[in-house]
Structure 1
Amino acid sequence: MTVERAPGDARTGPRRWGVLFAAVWLFYLLNPLEVAWSRRDTVAGWVGLVATVAFAAVYLTIFLALRFRRRPGGPFRPFEHRTTAAAALAVEVALAVVICLSLGQIGTATAVYLAVIAVMCLPGWWAWAGVGAILAATYLATLLVPGWEVDRGLLFGTGVAALAIWGLTMAINRNIELLRIREENARLALEEQRNSFARDLHDILGHSLTVITVKAELAQRLLPLDPERAGAELADVERLSRDALADVRRTVTGYRDLTLTGELARARAALRAAGIHADLPASVDAVPTRLRDLFAWTVREGVTNVIRHSHARTCTVTLTADTVEIGDDGSGAPQPDATDGHGLRGLRERAAAVGARVSTESTASGFRLRVVAR
């Protein structure tokens, strides 16, 4: 059986290479190891050898604990409990002291690792307090211990290493947070798309299915009494069901802008947003299938002009089997600009294609856009 691994799983590439990256920097402990090995005929040499190996092992253990305790996609943070972090750092400090006592100044190479551990383990200003204490202790040791010399390069390298690890940790956490924000935005966009899709389906099917149900029940009751009228009702049921199916297919394939029901729903929302009262039909059942695309474009063009130009308080859309009319109580005809010209010209072309006629009328009470099928 194949087991899927989550992103960032302990056995996947990114974490494995992270551990190898940490292990590479243990190269600088080779000098203490070499000195300890050269003194293996003494107790101090063996103590220094064991302490150095233990120091490297604890360092890797701390790094592994920080890496693998982190949730996949979660931030790179220090240990949750300060006592655990302090204990881990104290163990390394004790091992570093043992190395210095048994091997001499060569053991101060551990200062770099101690500073890095302080930044990784301790939160906030505690980390920098730890780094400062390590730098101060290393510097004072070179001044006070006979035979030791001040190593400014080591002090500089220790500070730079701590700063680099701190910056790397901040960059990792910020990138993770950015990815999390992007995922959340994508999730919200998908949720909004689903809600919009659900609203469109409701607008398309809600009323149609209700009317189909009522007409089917009526046809069933009329069948023994008036077969001719029952047949007419069943014909309406068939037409309504085909229209609803066509609207659903257009919605699923992304062509919602060509559905009359969808345009009416969007017109209601747009007019409400513009502060215009919308008087819209509750049903499109009277409109035959061949005219629904044209009437949908008419509603879009007419409502757009009302919102842009009319300064109206009310917009009314009227639908019949062969007519759609959009009227308002605004300031009359829209100003002739390029956009409106193209819109009405395109609407007339669409109307001519199905044998319909477009007319406009500007009166004292507002503006009317009417499309009538011949």
Structure 2
Amino acid sequence: MTRWNVTRERGPEWGGWWRDDAIGPPHDRSSGARWPLLGLLFLLPIIIPAVRSAAHPNTSVVHAVLGPVLLAAYAGCYLFFPQVVFRRPSIRAKLVFCTGMLALGWVAMLVLHEGSVYVLLYAMAVIAFGLPPGWTLILDGSSLVALLVVVERHVGVDGSPSDVGTLLGITSAMFAVGRLLHTVRSLRAAQDEIATLAVTAERERLARDLHDILGHSLTTITVKAGLARRILESAQDTERASTEIHEVESLARSALSDVRATVSEYREVSLSAELVGARAALRAAEIEADLPHAVDNVLPDLQQTFGYVLREAVTNVLRHSGAKHVKVRLGRTWLDIEDDGAGAPGGVSGNGLRGLTERLDQIGGTLRAEPRAGGGFLVRAEVRPALEAAS
């Protein structure tokens, strides 16, 4: 493994420590209304002592006013932090919010009379819950170290080293819960994306199959109906015209059945059946057909795909080419359809050929549709030798 590859592999891992790649929990109206009430209950352990401290006779006027104001601002940050953390703003906005809340917590803890170290728990929990791991370690880690120093030196803070250890444990638990919640949300988002892709793929499959089925069937019906009309107008062979009309009716019923089966995903295309249908359609269009009489030399796994290719190629011959002769050749892993016509107008590749290309891509094959050097048009479907060897 090269050094460049190692760098690429480690880049996303370390980048996730500083970037905000996580997906927060859903923030609907009901959860937004419930959280302030629940958060207010969590804040009671610091609100009640603050009120008592402000009413204490020994508390100065400045501390009696400034303490509650700071605590109110700090509590407001805690009550409305989901609006910032879970609405997916930039990492810079989250960092500014969390740093400001932590600073408010420090000032409120030092200003309050007998301020407890647990005042900082709320800011540290928000940071552990809402920021990437790198920023969490810096902000919460530095706060814990500073708290330990302040407690050891007894600088106007109510607490002990064991209290700092408790803060460490609670903050670590919140960090783990936050990472777990973000992971769950990421998995749900991935599942939603997979479901969306599955729906899109199913729509593409249905559109492709309906195009292949109706395109060929309706083209053949049109050709046969036109032939029957010409026979009736010339009054030459009414019996043949009646036969063609019966075949049109049969094709229409078959097309309806195929559409129903395709919608139910039960329809199977047979290469041998497509050869029979191609022979009848080309005969009705008065196009000379040189077709194989058997498909035994084609790999069984490829016969359904080659059936789709044959169907679409013959449909294009009937629609666009103006050909008088069509030749089909089959091999173990290839299929050729040649005609002496002009191909699609302007060499345009329609939805049918694009659909065939997608089908062949799924089995590792390729499709070529191009004019022949000596005139006419060639459609060639072929799989790579690796598939043949594996089979």
State the AA in 1 paired with 2:245: L
**1:199–1:154 distance in 2 versus 1, CA, 3 Å:** same
* In 1: Cα distance, 2:221 partner to 2:70 partner: 85
Match of 1:118 among 127, 151, 158: 127
Deviation at residue 182 of structure 1 after TM alignment: 1.7
Q: How does 1:1-374 map to 2 (within 5 A)?
A: 8=26, 10-12=28-30, 14-39=31-56, 42-43=60-61, 44-67=63-86, 69-70=87-88, 80-82=90-92, 85-86=95-96, 88-104=98-114, 106-120=115-129, 122-145=131-154, 150-225=159-234, 226=236, 228=238, 229-257=240-268, 262-264=269-271, 281=275, 283=277, 307=300
Residues 85-133 of structure 1 show CA distances to partners (whole Å, capped at 9, x for unaligned) of 23552354245324423413x3422121232233245433122111122
- The question of whether the paired residues in 2 share the 8 Å contact of 1:26 and 1:56 is answered with yes
Q: Give the 3-state SS of the residue equivalent to 2:29 in structure 1.
A: coil
**1:220–1:147 distance in 2 versus 1, CA, 3 Å:** closer
Residues 72-94 of structure 1 show CA distances to partners (whole Å, capped at 9, x for unaligned) of xxxxxxx5243662355235424
Give the TM-score normalised by structure 2: 0.57
* In 1: Cα distance, 2:177 partner to 2:193 partner: 24
Q: Give the 3-state SS of the residue equivalent to 1:196 in structure 2.
A: helix
Larger radius of gyration: 1
* In 1: Cα distance, 2:178 partner to 2:249 partner: 66
* In 1: Cα distance, 2:244 partner to 2:195 partner: 47
- The question of whether the paired residues in 1 share the 8 Å contact of 2:128 and 2:136 is answered with yes
Q: Give the 3-state SS of the residue equivalent to 1:184 in structure 2.
A: helix
- The question of whether the paired residues in 2 share the 8 Å contact of 1:115 and 1:159 is answered with no
* In 2: Cα distance, 1:193 partner to 1:251 partner: 11
**1:19–1:129 distance in 2 versus 1, CA, 3 Å:** same
**1:282–1:194 distance in 2 versus 1, CA, 3 Å:** farther
Deviation at residue 197 of structure 1 after TM alignment: 2.7
* In 2: Cα distance, 1:146 partner to 1:247 partner: 84
More contact order relative to length (CA 8 Å, sep ≥ 6): 2
* In 2: Cα distance, 1:281 partner to 1:101 partner: 90
- The question of whether the paired residues in 2 share the 8 Å contact of 1:55 and 1:96 is answered with no
User: RMSD of the alignment, in Å?
Assistant: 3.8
**1:223–1:47 distance in 2 versus 1, CA, 3 Å:** same
| Aligned position for 1:345 | none
**1:154–1:114 distance in 2 versus 1, CA, 3 Å:** farther
* In 1: Cα distance, 2:279 partner to 2:36 partner: 68
Deviation at residue 31 of structure 1 after TM alignment: 4.5
Q: Which moved more, 1:152-161 or 1:40-49?
A: 40-49
**1:282–1:190 distance in 2 versus 1, CA, 3 Å:** farther
State the AA in 1 paired with 2:254: D
Q: Give the 3-state SS of the residue equivalent to 2:166 in structure 1.
A: helix
Give the TM-score normalised by structure 1: 0.59
* In 2: Cα distance, 1:148 partner to 1:233 partner: 100
| Aligned position for 1:74 | none
* In 2: Cα distance, 1:255 partner to 1:119 partner: 53
* In 2: Cα distance, 1:59 partner to 1:152 partner: 25
Q: Which moved more, 1:164-173 or 1:57-66?
A: 57-66
* In 2: Cα distance, 1:168 partner to 1:176 partner: 12
**1:213–1:139 distance in 2 versus 1, CA, 3 Å:** same
State the AA in 1 paired with 2:85: L
**Aligned residue pair count:** 265
Residues 185-222 of structure 1 show CA distances to partners (whole Å, capped at 9, x for unaligned) of 22333333333333432343222211111111122222
Q: For structure 1, list consecutive stretches of 5 or more residues without a partner in the other structure.
A: 1-6, 71-78, 268-279, 288-301, 309-326, 330-374
Aligned-residue sequence identity (percent) comes to 27
Misfit runs of 4+, over 6 Å: none
State the AA in 2 paired with 1:162: T
Residues 170-196 of structure 1 show CA distances to partners (whole Å, capped at 9, x for unaligned) of 112111121122222223333333333
| Aligned position for 1:336 | none
**1:30–1:65 distance in 2 versus 1, CA, 3 Å:** same
- The question of whether the paired residues in 1 share the 8 Å contact of 2:127 and 2:140 is answered with yes
